[in-house]
A and B are shown apart, each in its own frame.
Chain A
């Protein structure tokens, strides 16, 4: 190995050194998100960064390589503990697989707070700051039911992936809000009453959401309600419906409240979404972490960070907020 490699390394190193001056003696808080690039987590980092600055703490961030990368999160967790973090906020990719690593961290005296998604069991972390995803599902279920009126329901669900509690809670909450029999909040399996004519896993991604919708339309061309795990999936579903000439009269509902999703609502592509608040999750999480570092008082249990139904067209008997309100509190690019 020669000098060329060395020089380039040194160059890269200097850039990094300039970008990250070493600060000692500051309390260190770690934030591990599912992925780096998703606007939801960008917003979450923004909230955590602002809260950390305000409290004189230093924030370390890391993420998995993709939504299902557990090993990457384990590595990030270990590195942050090695860096001296005493508080770690984490949005887990695999609710079960991460648990042994979190146990190890807590055994070393690190406070671990789950953001956005619970671990399984939920008691594996000290506290959870998250959206009530079951309630998020109920809100869009009610809206879809009201919007459908007297038509008979033929529902497609574009879900997350098997075994994830957030996916199960939104799905089952949606069924309950729609007035269908649904598993309870604590269950991790997806309800499938006869009105649900097609189910597909989207992994929360637009391309797979589109493919899932295309397959569902092959199976049952008369689908009139589409539940989606998030707005990128909803955008994929809309694309598939439009290509099949069926975008009119099909009610698409979703969960998230990203700025692009709210724009899709304004454009009439998505009927309604349950908006959640990543900035608030992170801000509350950091505040709780700082409080622990100062006073030794640990946060515990579950804190609901709120959810609102956003719809362009308000329906009688269903509480909803308008697009403008949704736009004010969305995550992602506003324009």
Chain B
């Protein structure tokens, strides 16, 4: 959080265009896809898992919904439903393999990463889908707060964070996610259905990737089969920068939004200053190591 504030103050002094409603709205718009993916990723990481498949699963959802709407001529809501459904289905597969067969999440999602990528390429024949019906990109439309235009998708992202935040804090299912991540054995002994919690987490994560696909379509206005190749690492970066522990059980969902924003603010701010975006990658790398280092130190301190 401090890093985000510091970065914002710094860029505001460096460019008079940075601290404008229009530009801040743009940053939000640029992080909305990875921001929504990071919600799913946070849930998985809270259970001490990891999801490498999120980006390519999103790409598959993206291609399924755009192809069905633009080429098969299905009504837009049904096409979107199908796209989100496919992504959720991948969540089910990940969840079953992790919770029932007890395969390591890293391996399971490495497998589904490749499977989703291959299906996307085969199904789209590696071609971009264009000429989408207008209603498909409705979330890319804007409304005005004062003189600043805000994209509907950003509102959706913020709502998704608010709902997940509430569910993790206030519902039994949400507390169980933390319990399973902290100590699955203890959670099981106290009567938590650990397998069902794990399965549920991956399924919900899959649905969020489907939602991210819809936002990606709204943002770029096309179905892009080359999408999602770095979103797995980008979302893990956001989660880690947000202070969620990779060992599970500890973390706040809103931190992931802050994490995603840090990356977005650096990219945007450096471009406004005319500095190559490679520096953003450099700074992100340093911040990730610092964040994980601090997590480790605070764990040792707690013992």
Contacts and interface: CB of A to CB of B under 8 A. Distances in A.
A13 B220 CA distance: 31
Contacts of B287: 5, 8-9
A5 B2 CA distance: 8
A75 interface: yes
A76 interface: yes
B226 A68 contact: yes
Contacts of A175: none
B268 A59 contact: no
A250 interface: no
A54 interface: no
Interface stretch (A78-86, A146-154, A282-290): A78-86
B135 interface: no
A79 B272 contact: yes
Nearest to A23: B274
B15 interface: yes
Contacts of B23: 82
A17 B22 contact: no
Given A5-B290, A82-B26, A163-B126, A20 B224 contact: no
Contact of B17 (A20, A69, A83): A83
B243 A94 contact: no
A94 B283 contact: no
A97 B275 contact: no
Contacts of A66: 229
B229 A58 contact: no
A65 B226 contact: no
Interface stretch (B6-14, B77-85, B86-94, B153-161): B6-14
Contacts of B267: 75, 79
Contacts of A96: 128, 130, 222
A243 interface: no
Given A6-B2, A6-B6, A13-B10, A78 B26 contact: yes
Interface string A149-177: 00000000000011100000000000000
A71 interface: yes
A17 B226 CA distance: 35
Interface in A87-102: 94, 96-97, 99-101
A71 B3 CA distance: 25
A8 B286 contact: yes
B3 A5 contact: yes
Nearest to A96: B128
B220 A19 contact: no
Nearest to A83: B272
Given A4-B290, A80-B271, A83-B17, A97 B3 contact: no
A267 interface: no
B222 A76 contact: no
B172 interface: no
B279 interface: yes
Nearest to A73: B220
A6 to B, nearest CB: 5
Interface in A1-50: 1-2, 4-6, 8-10, 12-13, 16-17, 19-20, 22, 24, 36
B176 interface: no
Interface of B: 1-3, 6-7, 10, 14-17, 22-23, 26, 29-30, 33, 125-128, 130, 216, 219-222, 224, 226-227, 229-230, 243, 267-268, 270-279, 282-283, 286-287, 290-291, 294
11 contacts: A1-B1, A1-B291, A9-B283, A10-B6, A12-B282, A12-B283, A16-B273, A36-B277, A58-B274, A79-B30, A97-B226
